Structure 1
Amino acid sequence: MATVESGEGFTPIGERQEWQGRVVSLSVAEIRAPDGSIYEREIVRHPGAAVIVPVDGEEVIMVRQYRPAVNRELLEIPAGKLDSKDEPPEMTAQRELEEEIGKRAGHLELLAVFHNSPGFCDEITHCYLATDLTDADRRPHGIEEQHMAIERIKLAEVTNLVASGELADAKSIVGLMLAREHLR
């Protein structure tokens, strides 16, 4: 199935930025609908992210970290923002592996590129499978990373963790399911 870059018959007219934060910004877009009507939508602008499924044998190395937006700790695969336009997503993936779990991937394979929440946000995530892991210096950044825990889970247990609610982070569910299928 082919993707369509612009909505058929929908035409962006303009956009104004309402707010700029450290990571995201909020814009209001004005759009002309196929029937000629004009409407507005809020759009969160995000630089994008790289997420990594680090597989070591039958296990995946994950992190448990506090997420203020949901006020709880979540079990997640390593991930990081595409902070620099000069850094390709695969380099971000390698950097985040070192920062978060103290590993480097001998082999890094792109599994998918997907939109996280296209109803309101333009974030695009590049999802990688990392294998042939070797030790590296762990370099956590930020208060959450300094307090995150590293955990290993069996790849075979992913479905049970999702069903139980223990694994509730969408990017991690997508990445783990893709990795599991890819490695079969």
Structure 2
Amino acid sequence: MDMEDGDWSVTESRTEYETGWYDGGYDEVKQPDGTTKKYYWAEMPDAVVVVARDGDDVVFVEQYRPAVREKHLELVAGIVEDGEGYEEAGLRELREETGFVGDEAHVLQEYRVATGVLRHTRAVVYVDVEERGETSLGDNEFPSVRRVPADEALNVARGAPANDATLEGMPANDATLEGILLAREDGYL
């Protein structure tokens, strides 16, 4: 049997929980061999990751992440609000979390994240910083702004838990690594 022939039709779709942050559930799907299986998913709003350059430095934020019980050194990131594009959301998140202001953002890449379990799209944007003002943090945001020399940004992004070559041993996340690699590949770093 050619496994490409199946139509992968959904026989049932159910949202089992809603958290205010994301929804979770499953789709029961008819597989190419005629059997059915439940495929579980979590659905999250679109997000943006910001590679912001301030002169010779890349702007990072240090944050405690309760889900993994660790401090992480990360690029600025956040949810795209209703009516926003990735560029607008990136500039807003940068301003809110760091106080840094840029004139425009450029989308480096839009992509789906963890397609085996998530319904989530993310984009990486690049911003040249022009000035710094005040932050406007939400009630669950406590970032510390850190500048990292652009030529060290990849080593920081590859830091623990992958290895301990990060600034003061702090881990970075996958979105940070992806953002730095995309910006470097596109000639921004």
Q: How big is the shift at 1:132?
A: 4.2
1:61-72 correspondence to structure 2 within 5 Å:
61-72=59-70
- Inter-partner Cα distance in structure 2 for 1:148 and 1:28: 34
- In the alignment, structure 1 residue 120 sits paired with structure 2 residue 117: yes
**Could you tell me the percent identity over the aligned residues?**
25
The answer to whether the Cα contact below 8 Å between 1:48 and 1:123 also exists between their aligned partners in 2 is yes
- In the alignment, structure 1 residue 35 sits paired with structure 2 residue 33: yes
CA gap 1:159/1:43 in 2 versus in 1, 3 angstroms: same
What residue in structure 1 maps to residue 173 of structure 2? 169
Q: How big is the shift at 1:170?
A: 0.4
TM-score by length of 2: 0.85
Q: How big is the shift at 1:115?
A: 2.0
Q: Paired residues, what number? A: 175
TM-score by length of 1: 0.87
What residue in structure 1 maps to residue 147 of structure 2? 152
Deviations 1:5-52 (A, max 9, x none): xx9742233311100001101011111111111100110010110111
Q: How big is the shift at 1:91?
A: 1.5
The answer to whether the Cα contact below 8 Å between 1:10 and 1:31 also exists between their aligned partners in 2 is yes
What residue in structure 2 maps to residue 3 of structure 1? none
RMSD of equivalent CA atoms:
1.9
CA gap 1:132/1:99 in 2 versus in 1, 3 angstroms: closer
Deviations 1:124-147 (A, max 9, x none): 10110011432233111123x2x2
1:63-82 correspondence to structure 2 within 5 Å:
63-82=61-80
What residue in structure 2 maps to residue 135 of structure 1? 132
What residue in structure 2 maps to residue 24 of structure 1? 22
Give 1:45's match in structure 2, choosing from 36, 40, 43. Answer: 43
| Structure 2 runs not aligned, ≥5 long | none
| Structure 1 runs not aligned, ≥5 long | 1-6
- Inter-partner Cα distance in structure 1 for 2:6 and 2:36: 15
Give 1:56's match in structure 2, choosing from 18, 41, 54. Answer: 54
Q: How big is the shift at 1:55?
A: 0.8
What residue in structure 1 maps to residue 184 of structure 2? 180
